[in-house]
Every structure is written in C-alpha cells, then in structure tokens.
A = this chain, B = another copy of it.
Amino acid sequence: MSFIDVLLGRPLASTEERAEKIGTLAGIPIFGLDALGSAAYGPEAALTVLIPLGILEVRYIVPLSATVIVLLTIVYFSYRQTIEAYPTGGGSYIVASQNLGILPGLLAGAALLVDYILVAAVGIAAGVGAVVSALPNLQRHTLALCLVILLMITIVNLRGVRETGVAFMIPTYVFVACLSVALIMGVWKTVVAGGHPIPVVPPPKLGSPQVAVTAWLLLRAFASGCTAMTGVEAVSNGVMAFREPKTKIARRTLTTIIAILIIFLAAIAYLCRSYQIGATPPGEPGYQSVLSQLISAVAGTGWFYYLSIGSILLVLALQANTAFADFPRVCRALAHDGFLPRAFANRGRRLVYSHGIYVLATLSALLLVAFSGITDRLIPLFAVGAFMAFTLSQAGMVAHWKRVGGPHARHSMMINGLGATATAITTMVMMVSKFTEGAWITLMVIPGFVILMRAVRQHYECVTRELATSSPLPIENLCPPLVVVPLEDWNKVTQKALRFALTLGPEIIAVQVSTEETSEDMRQRWRLLVQEPARRAGLPAPELVVISSPYRYVIAPIVNFILELEKKHPNRELSVVVPELVEKHWYEYFLHNQRGELLSALLLLKGNQRIVIVNVPWHVEA
C-alpha cells in the first residue's frame, strides 16, 4: 500500500458510488451548516463596524438585525419557489444561464466560485477566532492554526466525504443545542432581571463614543451583517439529494434552517443589547468573539462554555467544508459546459472532483495568508458574490415564471421579483459601502473569471471545429516519409535507430553536428558501415550530412536543418528518428546529456503538421 493510498484511501471504481437519499433531519446539517454557521460571525461583523460608537454600539444592533431578518424572510420565500421549479437542483449558475442567458449565468457562476473561496477562508478564520477567544495564548498562532485546519479539510475532501455521515450531524446539533440553551437562558435572565441582567463573567467594558452615528456607518454595518445570510441557497442547489417527495422535504428543511437562523439572529441582537456586549478589535491581543462573550456572560466559563466554543469551531470548520463540496460541483458544471478546463469535470481516484479541491484549497490558503487569518479583514470581500448570485438567480426565476406561465405565474413572479429587488439593492449597498475596504478585489476578480471562462469556451469551440470530422479514414496517397536520423557517434544506439529508420522508408538522411567536442567526423566510416551494406542488401544508401557548429550548439543546428528540409519538400511528411538513452536509475539522468528529449520537445514546439517524431529508446542495462 503506497503512502498516497494510506493518506487518501484506495481508488474507488465508478460503480462504487452510493446515492443515499436524505430526509429533513440529515438535510439540516448537510445544507444548513453554511447558513447556521453564519450566526457565529454575521452579528459580530456588524458590531465590529460599529466599534467607534462605543457604548452606543449595542443600541443599533437590534434594528440592524431586524433589517437582516426581514431580508432573510424575503429571500426565503424566493428560494421556496426555486425548489419547486427546479426539483433536479437549481443552482444560481443553472437558473441564471437557462433563463437569462450565458453571460448572466457565467456571472452567477463566477460570483459563486469567489464566494465559496471566501466561505472556506471565513469559516476557518472564524472558527479559529472562537478558539483563540477561549485560549488567548494561541492568538499569535492564528494563521498557522487556520492553515492546519485547511490542510485537514483538504485531505478529508480528497478522500471523499460521504456527507450523510454522523460526522456532520453531531456537531451541528450540539452547536444548535448549545447556542439555543445559552440564548434561552440569557433571554430568561434578562426578563427576570427586568432588562438588566448581571453577567456571570462581565464582557469587556464598552468605551465612550468616538464618532457620531451616520447613515454611512449604519449602511456599512448592515452590509457586514448580511454575511449572516450566506449559504441560504444551499438547499435549492441540492433538491435532488432529498427523499421523495423531495420538493416537500426540501422546503421543510429550508423552513427549519431559516427559522433557526432567524431566532438565533434575533436573540443574539437582543442579548448583546441587554448584556452590553460589543465587538472587540479583531486581530489584537484581548480579542474575544461576540459569541464567546455572550456565552460566558450568560453561563460563565465552565464546561458548557468550552463545549459551546468547541462546537462553534467544528461547525465553522464544517461550514468551510461545505465550500469544498460546492466549489468543485460548480466547477464541474462550468467545465461540463466547456467554460473551465476539462480536468475539472473528471472525477479523481476517490470519485471526487480533485482539481476543484486543489484550486479551492490553494486560493483559500492564499486568502488566509494575505489577510493573516483574521475574519474581520476577510468580511469586506465576502457575501458580495453570494448576493450577486442571489440576485441573478431570483431574476432568472422571474424570467422562468414568465416563460412557463400557469395559474400562479403572476404571484410567483411577484415573490421572486421582490427577492431579486431586495438582494439587488443589498448587493449595491455592499459594493459601495465596502468597496475601499476590500470589495473592490471581489469586484475585479468576478468579471476576470467571466472573461477567462468565455475565452476557455471559445478556445475549446475553435479546437473542436478544427478537429471535427466524420469522414472515413483517407487511405489514398499513402507515401513513406522522408526520414531524418540525428546521430552523435557510431554505437549500438545509432545502429538501432538506423535500423528502425530503414523500416520507415527508403529515403534516409543522417545528420551529425560537428563541434570541438566531436570525437570524429563520421563521413569516412559511413560509406563502409552503412552505405555499402545497404547497397548490398539492395536498399537505397542512407545519406550523411555533417553540420559544423562554431558556437558549440548541438540541438539548434539539427532543428534548423530539419525545418529547412521540410521547406524544401512541401508535400512530404518528415519523420525524425531520435535515438534516446534511458537510464535505469533517476540519478543517472544527470550523467548523460538530454539532447534526445530536448530535440523532441523543440521539434514538437517549432515543427508543424508534417513533422513526426520517433523516439527510439535504448534501455541501459548497466
């Protein structure tokens, strides 16, 4: 068993694919992780923007969260309809390209790809953020922790995740349970204390306001808070994975996920106000995540606190993991349509789309390194792509209803139209308010992806057109090629190459390059060793051309000779027979010149349709 087998598992045959269908209970962890995990950083992202407001910070989190909840409700109703219309899975790329055209589809696809990269990076960074809140000594290892977790997730995904496993269910439900207990306890304590509960562990004091409240600040806080909504589209992408009646079960799953998320967001906002919990400056010593403050204020820092923090880390790591399931899938869909290199559509040894996994892991590692693994710095780049995809998907649904018609078409169009409008406005708000802080990167990368994908498709189409034929094999005018044999010396390798050349055709030209290192000019021996025997056997005598090379180059003169020969015989095919020594051990590679390989590579590059390269290997026994 090789090391790769141990690390990644044995190869799986195509027939070994399992297709278990899932219900609501299993559906919530699989498709809800991304959305539910957002509760861990969405409110905090909004609060972090409000830090300059100091003590006033907690006053504004409630109306901001209420706005996010309203938006979430609108989007929920929109996606209910997508589920109904696309029981085979309605990802934004599919919905937008089928209903709006290729360009909007590519835009949605690119936006999604960018956002999945950020889901992976933000999920890991936020999970590590929770851990370093609990264990401040680890703070200076933030980036290293992020990268280790990313590596682990990557390896797990290259092995292939059987998503229905309990590995997903337990942490998700522990997380939901812990957070529910903490929030219920907190709300109860607040009500009992008449709105001013005494925290078990007091959160860091909020400072006095540094700036006045402006609409701009609130817009920015809202834009950051919207990150809580990412992942809502997951259920609609995966309707086909549900048990029959799939539309119904998928809708029920979506309803449950959104309901839990809304309750979480509302309760977190309420408790932040009553317990006076604000954000702490991210990436600095003393940083503590909002949920960590909240849980310790409500329940102290006993076992329950550590259980909760542990479940947050796991859920956020698993959220990053959903990106590893979704990103390669979108890549596959795009590659299948010819917009990405075909390799993205091939499944690797473990039935996963390995290339997508490599690319996602590399890009999110780059993001983590560039932003030192600090969630808050990644937030401005995040969610823009998701909301762009939301908008295009909802707009696509409007077009869908218009096309499909039917009794409820008008009503359905209304709902999706409202969704599209709301998400479009939010996308604009995000772009503008977070532009200078990082959204510009996203806004440059997404169109870049689109341009690239169109170019890839165009190239494939050109090549396919160029190669396409359905005519039978043209067999007329078969004519043996003109054969060129570059040689250095008279030895068995040369003999073997020449013998093979003789089977190729009657016209053979041998070429020797003469430099100061050449041991002998072969012209004299040539007559004796080659031409005489050939004549005696009744074959035309092979010719020898000696090229002198004052600059001691060996390969270039041969290439030039062949290219000139090709010009002189515009209607002939040329076969270049390259003798090649193959060593037994890799380290012997350095002992012999690699002229054979270099010559082959150069001829492929500089040659043309009429030049064929024949490698005659000599396997060294020594």
A residues in contact (CB < 8 Å) with B: 11-15, 341-343, 345-349, 456, 459-460, 462-463, 465-476, 478-481, 490-493, 495-496, 498-500, 502-505, 515-517, 528-530, 532-534, 536-537, 539, 550-553, 573, 575, 580-582, 588, 590-593, 600, 604-605, 607-609, 611-622
Q: Are B466 and A481 in contact (CB under 8 A)?
A: no
A609 touches B613 (CB 8 A): no
Residues of B near A552 (CB, < 8 A) are 14, 346-349
Contacts of A516 in B (CB 8 A): 14, 347
Closest residue of chain B to A491, judged by CB? B467
A505–B470 CA distance with the chains assembled, in angstroms: 25
Contact A533 B342 (CB under 8 A): no
* CB atoms of A15 and B550 under 8 A apart: yes
- Is the pair B475, A492 in contact by a Cβ cutoff of 8 Å? no
Give min CB distance, A196 to chain B, whole Å: 58
Instruction: Tell which of B502, B529, B593, B604 touches A472, judged by Cβ atoms closer than 8 Å.
Output: B529
Given contacts A474-B499, A612-B617, 17 further A-B contacts (CB under 8 A): A12-B551, A13-B551, A460-B591, A466-B492, A466-B620, A468-B492, A472-B529, A472-B530, A473-B498, A473-B533, A474-B495, A478-B499, A478-B503, A496-B609, A503-B505, A582-B605, A607-B617
User: Within the oligomer, what is the number of copies of this chain?
Assistant: 2
Closest Cβ of chain B: how far from A229's Cβ, in Å? 35
**Chain B residues, Cβ within 8 Å of A472:** 528-530, 532-533
Determine if A613 and B604 form an interchain contact, defined as CB atoms under 8 angstroms apart. no
Q: Decide yes or no: A573 and B620 within 8 Å by CB, A491-B468, A533-B472, A534-B475 being known contacts.
A: no
- Residue of chain B at shortest CB distance from A505: B503
**C-alpha spacing A476/B528, complex, angstroms:** 16
Q: Hey, which chain B residues are within 8 Å of A537, CB to CB?
A: 475-476
Chain B residue numbers with a CB within 8 Å of A462 are 620, 622
Interface contact A615-B612, CB-CB below 8 Å:
yes
Complex contacts, A468 vs chain B, CB 8 Å? 491-492
CB neighbours (8 Å) of A342 from chain B are 591-593
A611 to B580: give the CA distance in the assembly, Å: 12
Chain B residue with the shortest CB-CB distance to A534: B475
Nearest chain B residue, comparing its CB with the CB of A477: B499
| C-alpha spacing A239/B40, complex, angstroms | 80
Query: Which B residue sits closest to A470, measured CB to CB?
Result: B490
Q: Across the interface, name the chain B residue whose C-beta is closest to A576.
A: B615
Closest B residue, CB atoms, query A600:
B615
Within the complex, what minimum Cβ distance (angstroms) separates A240 from chain B? 18
Cβ–Cβ < 8 Å partners of A456 in chain B = 591
Contacts of A459 on B, CB cut-off 8 Å? 588, 591, 622
Chain B residue numbers with a CB within 8 Å of A503 are 478-481, 504-505, 573
* A299 → B minimal CB distance (Å): 51
Cα A223 to Cα B593 in complex, Å, equals: 42
Interface contact A349-B460, CB-CB below 8 Å: no
Given A609-B619, A617-B604, decide whether A493 and B467 contact each other with a Cβ distance below 8 A: yes
The CA-CA distance from A612 to B516 in the complex, in Å, is 31
Min Cβ gap A518→B in Å is 11
| 6 CB < 8 A contacts A-B | A342-B592, A343-B593, A463-B620, A473-B499, A475-B539, A580-B604
A450 to chain B, nearest CB (A): 17
With a cutoff of 8 Å between Cβ atoms, the chain B residues found around residue A470 in the complex are 490, 529
**Once the chains bind, are B345 and A517 in contact (CB under 8 Å)?**
yes
Q: Nearest chain B CB to A66's CB is how many angstroms away?
A: 48
Query: How far is B593's CA from A463's CA once the two chains are assembled, in angstroms?
Result: 13
Chain B contacts for A345, CB-based, 8 A? 517
Partner of A550 from the list B14, B343, B348, B621 (CB cut-off 8 Å) is B14
- Known pairs A467-B493, A495-B469; A349 contacts B551 (CB<8 A): yes
B residues within 8 A CB of A14?
A: 515-516, 550-552
> In the bound complex, how far is the Cα of B585 from the Cα of A459, in angstroms?
11
Of all chain B residues, which has the CB nearest A539?
A: B475
A99 CA to B534 CA in the complex, in Å?
49
Q: Which of these, B474, B475, B613, contacts A615 with CB under 8 Å?
A: B613
Closest beta carbon of chain B to A378's beta carbon, Å: 28
Q: How far is the CA of A133 from the CA of B541 in the complex (A)?
A: 74
User: In the complex, A619→B460 CA distance in Å?
Assistant: 14
Q: Which residues of B contact A348 (CB under 8 A)?
A: 552
Interface pair B469/A490, CB less than 8 Å apart: yes
